[in-house]
Structure 1
Amino acid sequence: MKVNRRNFIKLSAVSGLFVAGASQTKPMLNAFTKNTEAAAKNEPQGEWIASTCQGCTAWCAVQVYRINGRATKVRGNPNAKANHGHSCVRSHLALQQVYDPDRVKQPMKRTNPKKGRDEDPGFIPISWEEAMDIIADKIMDLRKRNETHKFSVWRGRYTALNGILYGNMPKIIGTPNNVSHSSICAETEKHGRYYTEAYWGYADYDHENAFYELMWGADPIASNRQVPHTASLFGKLKDQAKIAVVDPRLSTTAAKADEWLPVIPGEDGALAIAIAHVLLTEELWYKPFVGDFKDGVNRFVAGRTVNEEDFEEIQTYGLVKWWNIALKDATPEWAAERSGIPAEQIYRVARDFGRAAPRAISFMSPGSNMVVRGGYTAQAMAALNGLVGSADNVGGVICGGESCPVNSFPDFEKYIDSIAANGNSMPRADFGGRKLEMPAMNAGNSGGIKPTNTIADSILNEDPYSLEVVMSYWTNFNYSNQGTDRWDEALAKLPFMVHMTLNPAEQTHFADIVLPVPHHMFERLSAVRGSNGNLYRHCHIQNEIIESPFDVRIDETEVPWMLGEALERKGFSNLIDYFRNEFVDPETGKKPTNGKEFNEIATKIYTQPLWDPTIEKQGDVINGWEEYKKIGTWNSIPYRFRQKWNGNWGTETGQFEFYSETLKKALEAHAERHNVNVDKVMEATNYTARGELAFVPHYEPAYRVGDENEYPLIFSDHRSKLNREARSANTSWYQEFKDADPGDEAWDDVAKINPIDAKKLGIENGDMIKITSATGSITVKAKLWEGTRPGVVTKCYGQGHWAYGHIASLDRKKQIARGGNNNTILAPVHEALSGSGARHGGQSRIKIEKV
């Protein structure tokens, strides 16, 4: 009998009756008797200790229950206002992660010089001291050759202390090559907000006061960000508001929505532009925010241009230009042909959205705009908030937030010697900014983003040089980047890599040194400063709740400290001198003498403005460091709306921009850097826009890899409510409850196919199928499911590990994966304006065959 949830309840009931009948004098459960010591004393067995869950980018404050030194359960921190004192399922999965028997338990070094997926690394245990000496020798060799720029630090999940390992240490050693995972996460949605209202970051949403929410690929009660916040208010939201979800898959949120719009992947932009068209032609824009025609007569008529002088704007800039350039012909009928959504539904959603103004939210997520031509789609979704006046308004979208004051780490400039200065001046290894086809503009700056996935190409092509020494933490780049095979090739070519990781992952297989690190939620002290949620800014603490059963060191502080000591022994003391001399305990005035002390002092320095009652701030009053650790979080005052109104938007014009002078300036600067015009930039980045169209939100046809005749279906990737950023697949809870994701199956990895398509292909439910794209192929089980639109195959990301542990893979020794990794078949393409990896929007066409 398979033990599923229903059978588990049955078995529990049966076994409970059997035990009660077999032993009447000694009940199994204390709760059922008064004659026990526990019941008599009524004392708690353990204590709740504050920490932070980093299972997604919401970074929710939690509390962990510790009994006899062991973490036993998790709940939301009742002091945290951003997540209403709640947590989601991801935080509970962490309990199985921290006690995972497959974790890396001690430092190891590679004995097989050959690298490749088919090569046994031959790892053997070593001491921390030996590991640091080996790494220090590699760095010193680069210094002797005056090639410190060939050193690189790769960052995955991080805390507030990342400024030490990822930020300052590379500069003191002398390299510009600190590369984060960020560009494979969500940069395109930030692009959309920045070029309308000059905010590069994640948005907050006033769900409590909204009357309509239009969710673009968002599934906020299951995945994406702010799940506890949204789930806490979702019942109220359903009572007072309408919800429309644009998604080719029937997600958890879509199943509960008033409208489901199963869009053709990558064609969301057509919908967004058509909705804007309806808002204008039917006079549904929010006039107190946008403005009106001077004579009060609406001149927005389909197909007709409008004189800019006839309209007087209030908080916005360029509405009529936008209409004339991109909107006037974008009717719902036009959009229906491109998006696959009926025109009548587009009209209905647009009208309902407009009538709810200004309490109408256009809620975008990576799924809708992390596509090759998604930058302008993101702008269109952001621009809708401007049209209905919900930008920085009650019941709307908050881009920014109140202050959460923290300190920077001490200045390190005087510790940069001439060798390091030369290395820091070298061009970066990634393509951001230095390639015409990769503007990667963070907040308008060419090359402000470091596109992670281009590092593989840099290594393979030695462009502009070959990286030689890499320290990488909480990463798994040959699993989490599109085009996994090329990452395997790149890592095999890399001369020396240190992998700091919880589990031996796919990337670990190519490492020369493997270092065990603590689980962020249970085994280390740090701070985590999250983005705003529920109108609050916050900074949480991570306490060392348990003593790790393994020989771990904290990646962001203890490892740099030990490396600094090793470098000092070899004649380079700048790094350890910086740590010893500049980091001073703000309470005691003491300086660190070891890595543990350094970690605590760094955390105290960063968070001092929050827990020091003598420092003025607007938010919680906390009386000292120890109280802060106990409470576990600091909350700002709730956001005060309309701070950006009346010329404070931060854009080039000071207004909310429909015609983006801010984007125009950024694109022209990148074009000038490469001695071309903006049209050439558009051509190089795979965009179709030319001329003025490049400066307004507009429709771009979906870009797909693979010929339609050979690859007739579109592949659509999505996320699980159980994914701790693809790190939870080695937990039995993840596998057992995988069917909590609509359409998925427990202990399996399925590709969801509409029955209409399956019938044409002769595929039945449960058949094993091979999915092939122009990039690669995977073998998984077919699941016939009406929740995906015809022509589209949807599959959840998170399975397909050939490493990571005995649960994540079917056979770790033989490298047999449980299912398939979506990134194996996704092409390594980008949304180039933001530098974001384009993993969504049906970027790859596929074909399917039974096996």
Structure 2
Amino acid sequence: MKLTRREFIRASAASAAWMLGANALAADKPKAAPMPFKNALIPRKARSSTPAKGEWIASTCQGCTQWCAIQLYVSGGRATRVRGNEISKSNHGYVCPRGHLIPQQTYDPDRVKVPLKRTNPLKGRGIDPKFVPISWDEAMNIVADKMLELRNAGEPEKLMYMRGRYGPLSQELLYGTLPKIFGTGQYFSHSAICAEAEKMGPGLTQGFYGYRDYDLEKTNCLVIWGCDPLASNRQVPNTIHRFHEIVARGTVIAVDPRLSNAAAKAHEWLPVKPGTDGALAGAIAHVILTEGLWNREFVGDFKDGKNLFVAGEMVDEAAFVEKETSGLVKWWNLELKDRTPAFGEKESLIPADQILRVARAMGKAAPNTAVWMGPGAAMMPRGTYAAMAVYALNGLMGSIDVVVLEGAPGAPLNKFPSTEKFIDEVAKKGSKTGKKLDGRGEKNMPALMGSAMNNVPNNLLKDPGAVKVMLASWNNYNHSATGASRWDEVMAKVPFFAHMVTNPSEMTQFADIVLPSTHNTTEGWNIITNGSNGYSYASIQQNPIKRVFDVKQEENEVVWLLAQKLKAKGFPNLADYYDTIKDPETGKAATNELEFAEITTRFLSAPIWMAKEAPKGDAQIKGWAEFKAKGMFHGPRYTPKKGWGGKFKSETRKFEFYSATLKKRLGEHAKKHETTTDDILTVSGYTARGDLAFVPHYEVPKRNGSLEEFPFTFIDYKSRLNREGRSQNLPWYQEFKKVDPGDVSWGDVVKMNPADGARLGLKTGDKVTITSQAGSITVDLKLWEGVRPGTVAKCYGQGHWAYGRVATKDYAKAVPLGGNNNTILVDDLDRLSGSTARNGGFTGVRITKA
């Protein structure tokens, strides 16, 4: 990468400011500055250099949901470098660009350094909270008092907890424990704004509601659909490691309306019209069936061997004998018989001959064809059916449990003690009082995945008194959730809000108490579990550095301190529960928060390093010290075809092209509301009726904004430098932003096809306003051939009006750097999953010169 002298000086000045430190809430953005050392230009006698003295210490990256095992080089108590854990079988000892941002993130001078208390009662965007520093003891007293006011008033259900990024200890100690013992049912996780709709594909076909693994070493045809695994969407190091091999020996196909990193290297790029993924998938399935390209070992065949799948013609179900699948002929008769390549071209704008060519390449490589589906194909209104349609192609290819993997057996972990006897009558009553504020379970919100988090502000706007005390950790919904202005309005009305967070984000500006959080990769304790490359693993997070700031880990340290305060004030239940968690070697309970953090990590992982016999997987690890040094443990390799033979978790125990699983669950929801499934689908905004609702099918995309008023379709995508959206305050993020195709450093651009630019008289560098039904943002324009005509694409991440000096144009005046996509993305949901809609072209925009 070439840098101009100006760019180099600016980057150097920013780095110098970072190294020298600054106040956490300072207002000015780093600018080019004089040399910071008085005699910098005076010649000096050369001195021999020696390598930095330090050691590599194992930890886990939390830059995305892959949670790669890594190692930090710690010198003088400071983390200076990052690499992948050399023994990792999932990332092959490498880490993606996000991992290398960890040191800058840890030592970001704009972090919240001490607990803060709000002194300005007014709340709103751009209103100075007038925070003042306080001690942890005072902060915990304030939070505990506010919580106990609810218990004493008999309304514990008016406590709400919302979490963002988290680890397994959160599930056990904070998210999964505090609300239950305290007595509220109002607790919500962020995952519904990330990718939940895509899980409906495998969930409603094979009964696996989760992110898939892929055996890329065996994959000969890789279909990347609505994601870019070279940049984001998990498993980036493993994909980078294997991608060139697949390109050399097989075929790579990218389905994406923009030219992603993967699309730029693919043999076939299908710039699909946003929202029509179901139509394209149906047309590919039609070709596979009419040309006899399905995998017979997995799917089965006609009794007499003659292919009866003919365009437009019904097929007798009795003529086909299925093996590992259920409902193929129903799917054909209800949906696929008319989904010809011509139909696919009409809807998706992908040429019919390309649809034929791609379908044949997929069939030729089967069962070593992997359709890697991401949120771009499914996070839209009616996205559940798009997810089913795309994922069902894996069923036709017979790639399920061959190269598309459910997940290897998990590494052995301890179960935490039951909370049951610590839940009193007040808590039991409170947990059952009131409807869930996300609306799940209501007639028009089946939310079969379990959460519709981004619907919470809609219900709070209707009933502001439903929440009096709000706790939140590692989240920033005022920036990261669609319809972001709703969160500004809601957070201004919450009577008391305590935010556990690393940086003063947009959401933090509405807080009454700010509790500075650790960056858990470098400053916290946890055991992270995940899988990739056919292996599951448990990877440690430990505290290998000297903390520079007065921060505490929300998942264990903060909850322990809060529990002690609640106990001292007359509510001992939470603290008494935590005392049941003992050190597995000494049998002792924690006496302070730091001990609690390490003890809970030791307790959770004890079956790995205290086992009398080696658990299945890696060689036996003997002792805590060895586990900390190695940093991870792998379970056994994935067993091929483990779901075959009637072992899938679906209702029929087979791969369901006709989803008996969906039919049962949707039927139960309809019965609860004393109505029919057709009525549920109607009020939830879907077009299917009858049996069509239970097969993968194409639903015409729902678009917010008419083509006349909003002629462009907006495409939101993610940067390969986004560490869960938390890296925009880092100079390296801004400097190297150009690594995202079409983007620029230290700026924010919307990409438009040159043909559209010429038609509107716009050119690269013009300042333009993007307007939707939800709002407007102003950014720079870049004409770029890598986005299909009629669409505009913009990377998510910029547009912060808070967070720090680098992320904003003017922090003190709440002036953003660029524009936040969520300001213009309309608030909408896929109601079968509860997932936020942010992809699939559901938001129409117009572009005007600013």
Q: How high is the TM-score relative to the length of structure 1?
A: 0.94
Question: Offset of 1:54 from its aligned partner?
Answer: 0.5
Map Cα deviations across residues 721-750 of structure 1 (whole Å, 9 max, x no partner): 111121000001110110110100010000
Aligned partner of 1:65 among 73, 86, 111: 73
Question: Offset of 1:433 from its aligned partner?
Answer: 3.0
Q: Is the 8 A contact 2:762 2:849 kept in 1?
A: yes
Partner of 2:513: 513
Partner of 2:315: 306
CA distance in 2, matches of 1:7, 1:651: 55
Alignment of 1:599-678 (within 5 A): 599-614=597-612, 617-620=615-618, 621-678=620-677
CA distance in 2, matches of 1:136, 1:7: 49
Q: Is the 8 A contact 1:52 1:541 kept in 2?
A: yes
Asked if 1:86 corresponds to 2:62, the answer is no
CA distance in 1, matches of 2:3, 2:692: 58
Name the % identity.
Answer: 51
Partner of 1:483: 483
Question: Offset of 1:115 from its aligned partner?
Answer: 1.1
Aligned partner of 2:203 among 188, 194, 201: 194
Partner of 2:591: 593
Asked if 1:272 corresponds to 2:281, the answer is yes
| Residue type at the aligned position of 1:240 | R
| Residue type at the aligned position of 1:470 | M
CA distance in 2, matches of 1:457, 1:608: 43
Flag the 1:44–1:619 CA change in 2: closer, same or farther, 3 A: farther
Q: Is the 8 A contact 1:430 1:450 kept in 2?
A: no
SS of the aligned residue for 1:636 comes to strand
Partner of 1:175: 184
CA distance in 2, matches of 1:510, 1:24: 52
Question: Offset of 1:137 from its aligned partner?
Answer: 1.0
Partner of 1:285: 294
Partner of 2:16: none
Question: Offset of 1:223 from its aligned partner?
Answer: 1.4
Q: Is the 8 A contact 2:749 2:781 kept in 1?
A: yes
Moved more, 110-119 or 792-801: 110-119
SS of the aligned residue for 2:217 comes to helix
Asked if 1:47 corresponds to 2:55, the answer is yes
Asked if 1:425 corresponds to 2:424, the answer is no
Map Cα deviations across residues 799-840 of structure 1 (whole Å, 9 max, x no partner): 000000000001000111110000000011011111100111
Partner of 1:686: 685
CA distance in 1, matches of 2:177, 2:751: 46
Aligned partner of 1:257 among 266, 271, 289: 266
Partner of 1:35: none
CA distance in 1, matches of 2:40, 2:823: 53
CA distance in 2, matches of 1:612, 1:190: 35
| Residue type at the aligned position of 2:486 | R
Moved more, 292-301 or 609-618: 609-618
SS of the aligned residue for 1:167 comes to coil
Map Cα deviations across residues 322-344 of structure 1 (whole Å, 9 max, x no partner): 00001000001001011010000
Partner of 2:706: 707
Map Cα deviations across residues 463-513 of structure 1 (whole Å, 9 max, x no partner): 8x6111111000001111100111100000111110011000000000000
Aligned partner of 1:99 among 89, 92, 107: 107
Question: Offset of 1:20 from its aligned partner?
Answer: 15
Partner of 2:212: 203
Map Cα deviations across residues 655-711 of structure 1 (whole Å, 9 max, x no partner): 111001011001101111111111111112211100000000000111110111111
CA distance in 2, matches of 1:577, 1:356: 58
Partner of 1:567: 566
CA distance in 1, matches of 2:354, 2:636: 40
| Residue type at the aligned position of 2:269 | W
Moved more, 597-606 or 303-312: 597-606
CA distance in 2, matches of 1:260, 1:78: 34
RMSD across aligned C-alpha pairs, in angstroms? Answer: 1.9
Q: Is the 8 A contact 2:407 2:534 kept in 1?
A: no
Aligned length: 821
Partner of 1:132: 140
Q: Is the 8 A contact 2:196 2:833 kept in 1?
A: yes
Question: Offset of 1:367 from its aligned partner?
Answer: 1.1
Question: Offset of 1:588 from its aligned partner?
Answer: 1.1
Alignment of 1:287-436 (within 5 A): 287-393=296-402, 396-436=403-443
Flag the 1:486–1:8 CA change in 2: closer, same or farther, 3 A: closer
Question: Offset of 1:215 from its aligned partner?
Answer: 1.0
Q: How high is the TM-score relative to the length of structure 2?
A: 0.95
Asked if 1:462 corresponds to 2:460, the answer is no
Question: Offset of 1:22 from its aligned partner?
Answer: 9.0
SS of the aligned residue for 2:536 comes to strand
| Residue type at the aligned position of 1:166 | Y
Partner of 2:18: none
Q: Is the 8 A contact 2:451 2:835 kept in 1?
A: no
Q: Is the 8 A contact 1:738 1:747 kept in 2?
A: yes
SS of the aligned residue for 1:154 comes to strand
Partner of 1:558: 557
Alignment of 1:717-736 (within 5 A): 717-736=716-735
Map Cα deviations across residues 255-298 of structure 1 (whole Å, 9 max, x no partner): 00000000111111111111110000000001111110000110
Q: Is the 8 A contact 1:613 1:624 kept in 2?
A: no
Question: Offset of 1:430 from its aligned partner?
Answer: 2.7
Q: Is the 8 A contact 2:439 2:459 kept in 1?
A: no
Q: Is the 8 A contact 2:52 2:75 kept in 1?
A: no
Q: Is the 8 A contact 2:713 2:843 kept in 1?
A: yes
Partner of 1:763: 762
Q: Is the 8 A contact 2:277 2:390 kept in 1?
A: no
Aligned partner of 1:164 among 173, 198, 201: 173
Q: Is the 8 A contact 2:222 2:246 kept in 1?
A: no
SS of the aligned residue for 1:471 comes to strand
- Unaligned stretches of 5+ in structure 1? 31-37, 443-448
Flag the 1:21–1:568 CA change in 2: closer, same or farther, 3 A: closer
Map Cα deviations across residues 534-589 of structure 1 (whole Å, 9 max, x no partner): 00001110110112111111101111111111112211111111112x11111111
| Residue type at the aligned position of 1:362 | V
SS of the aligned residue for 1:489 comes to helix
Partner of 1:26: 46
- Unaligned stretches of 5+ in structure 2? 13-34
Partner of 2:26: none
